[in-house]
Amino acid sequence: MSSKRPQPYFSRSQVTLVRGLWMMVTAILAFMTLFPLLWMVSIAFKPAAESFSSNLIPQSPTFDNFIYVLTAVPFIRYMANSFLVSATVTIVALFFHTMAGYALARLRFPGREVLFLSIFSTFLVSLPVIIVPLFVIVKAMGMLNSYAGLIIPAIFNAFGIFLLRQYYLSLPKEIEEAARIDGAGYWRIYWSVILPLSRPIMSALAILFFLANWNSFLWPLTITSDPNLWVVQLGIANFKSQYSASWNYMMAASTIVAIPTLILFVIFQRQIMDSLKTSGLK
């Protein structure tokens, strides 16, 4: 949308007006999204006496809330658990999902479409629906109260497989054929051609998977009773029920939980842009 070219229907002042209106709308939306976050951070820095005052900038900012939260409750431990689970699920899931997506897109074998449809149909079923049978299975496998119980059931995800399969279908077949002629087998094509080409979409999926697992609550609640295995969302929930009156502590805890996701998002966002630029797919 260049402002320099003359517009056939609108005068320049009208264009400026329209653009101004749009900017106002986006500003309001941004404010509505950001304000609760700002409010949370603000309260986190306020001493208990001030926590219900309406000023956004704390009068006497303090780190006490954070220190209290981190010392009174093993929050670092919860975060480490969350990080371990989310990172493992993300990496393992991407590894298997890319392979599954590639196989479903390119390998010819009987029952491929049926297999794909049955994977796809699991979209229709949400976790609460299958949580009891899932629990029974995981229990039967002896994975209650274990990292395996937190990680393994979270790896399967129809969305990732579906997205990757569609992406692989859109890749020109000739690239893989060229690789075959160059002497690459299935595994080598997957590793040296397909995986590098999927970098942009994998970055996007990595963010989605990581965040989904970082924020997951219901499954960890179902499967873990041992506080040493608690993930951060369980920690927070428990903390909230204990300190329901102390908003300053709760907000400090929430802020701590939000920070890693924000950092990761910023890092990965840059990577998405880079990989989009360098992949050079036309």
Interatomic CA distance for residues 66 and 39, integer angstroms = 16
Which of residues 142 and 196 has its CB atom nearest to other proteins in the complex?
Answer: 196
CB 215 within 8 A of CB 257: no
Helix axes 232-242, 75-106, angle to 10 degrees: 140
Q: How far is the CB of 199 from other proteins (least distance, A)?
A: 8
Q: How far is the CB of 174 from other proteins (least distance, A)?
A: 4
Answer yes or no whether residue 193 interacts with other proteins by CB under 8 A: yes
- From residue 23, give the alpha-carbon distance in Å to each of 19, 46, 54, 279: 6, 32, 27, 33
Answer yes or no whether residue 152 interacts with other proteins by CB under 8 A: no
Contacts of 99 (CB under 8 A, 6+ apart): 190
Stretch that binds other proteins, among 99-107, 124-132, 168-176, 234-242 (CB under 8 A): 168-176
H or E, element range at 12: helix 12-44
Answer yes or no whether residue 276 interacts with other proteins by CB under 8 A: no
CB 193 within 8 A of CB 176: yes
Which of residues 144 and 184 has its CB atom nearest to other proteins in the complex?
Answer: 184
- From residue 12, give the alpha-carbon distance in Å to each of 7, 24, 26, 63, 240: 7, 18, 21, 51, 54
Q: How far is the CB of 197 from other proteins (least distance, A)?
A: 6
Answer yes or no whether residue 121 interacts with other proteins by CB under 8 A: no
Answer yes or no whether residue 281 interacts with other proteins by CB under 8 A: yes
Q: How far is the CB of 184 from other proteins (least distance, A)?
A: 6
Which of residues 4 and 282 has its CB atom nearest to other proteins in the complex?
Answer: 282
Q: Concatenate the DSSP letters of all residues of 168-232 into one string.
A: HHHS-HHHHHHHHHHT--HHHHIIIIIHHHTHHHHHHHHHHHHHHHHT--HHHHHH---GGG--H
Q: How far is the CB of 282 from other proteins (least distance, A)?
A: 7
Q: How far is the CB of 109 from other proteins (least distance, A)?
A: 15
Interatomic CA distance for residues 162 and 116, integer angstroms = 8
Q: How far is the CB of 234 from other proteins (least distance, A)?
A: 41
Positions in 170-189 near other proteins (CB under 8 A):
172, 174-175, 177-184, 188
- From residue 15, give the alpha-carbon distance in Å to each of 8, 20, 22, 102: 11, 8, 11, 47
Select from 119, 197, 201, 229 the one that contacts other proteins (CB under 8 A): 197
Applying CB under 8 A, the site for other proteins has a residue count of 22
Interatomic CA distance for residues 271 and 282, integer angstroms = 19
Select from 2, 111, 128, 282 the one that contacts other proteins (CB under 8 A): 282
Q: Which of 93, 113, 158, 131 is nearest to 217 (CA)?
A: 131
Positions in 224-263 near other proteins (CB under 8 A):
none
Answer yes or no whether residue 279 interacts with other proteins by CB under 8 A: yes
Answer yes or no whether residue 169 interacts with other proteins by CB under 8 A: no
Query: Using CB under 8 A as the criterion, which residues of the chain lie in contact with other proteins when the complex forms?
Result: 172, 174-175, 177-184, 188, 192-193, 196-197, 199, 278-282
